[in-house]
Amino acid sequence: MPPKTKAKDSVNLTRTLGRLQEIAEWFDAQEEVDIEEGLEKVKEAAVLIKAGRRRLTEVKNEFEAVKKEMGTEETAVISPEAEEMTF
């Protein structure tokens, strides 16, 4: 069964982390931070962090489901003779 994907709704973690890095670098590069612009960057970062956390939870759940499925398949495929083999 192919994995379920949400192309439009799914957050790309690589892009999210990249954008967060850009925001952090912007702050580092400022000698004097414009309060209004800084506030907008902080708001954007907060949204990105929340979305990234949600996506990480989704990825973890997907991974656990695959792991569980693989464990079930392994049990079903292994014959009694194979279980007795030692490596």
Q: Are 17 and 52 in contact (CB under 8 A)?
A: yes
Specify the higher pLDDT residue, 8 or 62: 62
DSSP characters for the chain? -PPP--TTT---HHHHHHHHHHHHHHHHH-SS--HHHHHHHHHHHHHHHHHHHHHHHHHHHHHHHHHHHHHHHHHHH--HHHHH---
Instruction: Report pTM.
Output: 0.66
Q: What's the pLDDT tens digit per position in 39-85?
A: 999 999 999 999 999 999 999 999 999 999 888 765 555 555 655 55
Q: Are 52 and 16 in contact (CB under 8 A)?
A: yes
